[in-house]
């Protein structure tokens, strides 16, 4: 049985919220780490 | 608790599969905290009046339990689906922190072993493998990219947990402004309570966002026959029970073990190692402690980005080829690091960054490699069994490095030359892993599960 989805509902709002929930903390962590890394090249 | 069952998580038509990676990331970012324990390690040493080794045992128990629970619970995770697995993982992980905090408040170290180490470690193992098979089913066209996105979270979790934990410890400890401040046991206990609540909420978001695809679902425009065109990729399935009987499983196990052992060799010693490599004849290092801390941060970013970038690249190059790069190029880079790493800090940092990105890539490419060899049927359970290589490497890597360094001298007196025996041993290990990977070939058909279409055609032939 094959039920290929040809049209995908974008669910943009849900996508933005879901990615923001993981992306914002991760971005914060990378930023904080990069500020420490700066000492390496300072 | 039927609402956690696999049947209740089947995606409706039109569900956007790009909602699945953030759900998986939510779990991996939380359990990745396991790599940020150094933030409160000294505080626990002081609070319990224990040695560094006694406190280090907390982390060791957690990692051993990660490997064991992933291996033992893999089949359960595949059978019950990602939502129940993520929910269970969240309960174990948060309970680990709660019991750990009780141990800290009551000054009972064994409770921290039991809580964070044993119970939290079970949460680590179940959480690590919980989204893998689901992601591979949602992204049959890009399995490396999908698992890379999730497993990247395990590397990234520490990047978030470190600064957040430091800020919380400062907030909870009224003496945080004092010179040479070490966080109080009370503040670490409160930190554990806070992390329990935060991680439980975050992991529940993952558990209730994730969905499994309906049977027979495939992405629009996806042609499975094109995937099959690669020699090592099978459209058949092998059960977890049969997979461990194949030569291919153990060859990949050896390849992963060698790659992880070599990576841990650098990660374990990262800060003192860069200082020792640039120690002058007067015993003073050109690299300060602050710069060494920056180097450790850079390695964390290398580890995380390698998990995503190399795994995604493996969708184009194939899994066997990218493992040849991790192990073959890795061996060459390790040799250059051992023999010429002390000539320039830039060279040293660049080599270590690439080596650690290969270490991370090895982890995140493994599920897709298993999918190629054994199919999607019980790939989560097979992945769980493969992670015992991680547990074994977690013991072997530090043992090799520390044994060689102990024979070379005392900490603070070591130089680049002191590291050569350990690093060249790692080169040898990587060559063994390279050969093991080279020997990987398609799994023999006798291990394949019976296919309904084949059974039907054989029955038709008999009837005719």
pLDDT at A9 over 80: no
Predicted confidence at residue B414, as pLDDT, reads: 85
- Of residues A4 and B21, more confidence is placed in B21
- Of residues A16 and B414, more confidence is placed in A16
pLDDT at A5 over 60: no
Residue range A10-16: mean pLDDT, rounded:
83
Query: What ipTM describes this predicted complex?
Result: 0.84
Contacts A42 to B, Cβ<8 Å: 291
Q: Which residue has the tokens 């400890």?
A: B173
Cα nearest neighbour of B298 on chain A: A37
Query: Could you tell me the pLDDT band of residue A1, with boundaries at 50, 70 and 90?
Result: very low
Contact flag A9-B205 (C-beta cutoff 8 Å): no
pLDDT beneath 70, residues of chain B: 1, 226-230, 452-464
Contacts A10 to B, Cβ<8 Å: 16
Predicted confidence at residue B229, as pLDDT, reads: 59
Predicted confidence at residue B293, as pLDDT, reads: 80
Q: Is A30 within 8 Å of chain B by CB?
A: yes
Most A CBs within 10 Å, among B10, B11, B19, B305, to test the A interface: B19
């Amino acid at each position: 049985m094959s039920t290929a989805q040809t049209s995908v509902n974008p669910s943009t709002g849900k996508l933005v919220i879901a990615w923001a929930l993981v992306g914002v903390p991760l971005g914060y962590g990378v930023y904080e780490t990069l500020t420490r890394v700066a000492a390496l090249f300072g | 608790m039927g609402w956690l069952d696999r049947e209740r998580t089947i995606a409706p038509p039109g569900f956007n599969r790009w909602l699945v990676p953030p759900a998986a990331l939510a779990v991996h970012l939380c359990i990745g905290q396991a790599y940020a324990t150094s933030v409160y390690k000294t505080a626990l040493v002081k609070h319990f009046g224990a040695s560094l080794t006694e406190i280090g045992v907390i982390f060791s128990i957690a990692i051993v339990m990660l490997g064991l629970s992933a291996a033992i619970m893999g089949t359960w995770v595949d059978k019950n689906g990602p939502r129940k697995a993520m929910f269970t993982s969240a309960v174990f992980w948060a309970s680990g922190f709660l019991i750990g905090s009780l141990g800290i408040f009551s000054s009972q170290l064994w409770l921290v072993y039991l809580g964070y180490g044993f119970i939290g470690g079970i949460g680590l193992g179940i959480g690590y493998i919980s989204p893998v098979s689901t992601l591979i089913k949602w992204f049959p066209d890009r399995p490396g990219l999908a698992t890379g996105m999730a497993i990247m979270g395990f590397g990234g979790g520490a990047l978030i947990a470190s600064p957040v934990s430091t800020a919380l410890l400062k907030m909870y400890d009224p003496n945080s402004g004092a010179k040479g401040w070490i966080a109080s046991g009370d503040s670490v206990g409160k930190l554990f309570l806070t992390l329990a609540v935060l991680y439980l909420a975050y992991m529940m978001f993952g558990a209730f966002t994730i969905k499994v695809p309906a049977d027979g679902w495939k992405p629009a425009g996806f042609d499975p026959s094109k995937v099959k065109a690669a020699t090592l990729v099978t459209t058949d399935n092998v059960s977890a029970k049969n997979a461990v009987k194949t030569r291919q499983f153990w060859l990949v196990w050896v390849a992963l073990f060698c790659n992880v052992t070599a990576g841990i060799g650098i990660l374990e010693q990262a800060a003192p190692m860069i200082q020792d490599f640039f120690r002058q004849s007067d015993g003073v290092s050109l690299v300060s402690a602050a710069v060494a801390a920056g180097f450790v941060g850079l390695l964390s970013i290398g580890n995380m980005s390698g998990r995503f970038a190399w795994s995604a690249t493996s969708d184009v190059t194939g899994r066997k080829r990218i493992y040849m790069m991790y192990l073959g190029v890795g061996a060459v880079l390790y040799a250059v690091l051992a023999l010429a790493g002390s000539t320039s800090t830039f060279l040293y940092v660049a080599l270590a960054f690439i080596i650690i990105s290969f270490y991370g890539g090895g982890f995140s490419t493994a599920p897709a490699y298993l999918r190629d060899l054994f199919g999607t049927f019980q790939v989560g359970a097979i992945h769980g069994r493969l992670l015992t290589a991680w547990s074994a490497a977690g013991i072997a890597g530090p043992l090799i490095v520390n044994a060689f360094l102990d024979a070379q001298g005392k900490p603070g007196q070591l130089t680049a030359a002191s590291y050569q025996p350990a690093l060249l041993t790692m080169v040898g290990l990587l060559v063994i892993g390279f050969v093991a990977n080279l020997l990987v070939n398609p799994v023999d058909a006798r291990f394949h599960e019976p296919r309904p279409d084949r059974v039907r055609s054989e029955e038709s032939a008999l009837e005719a």
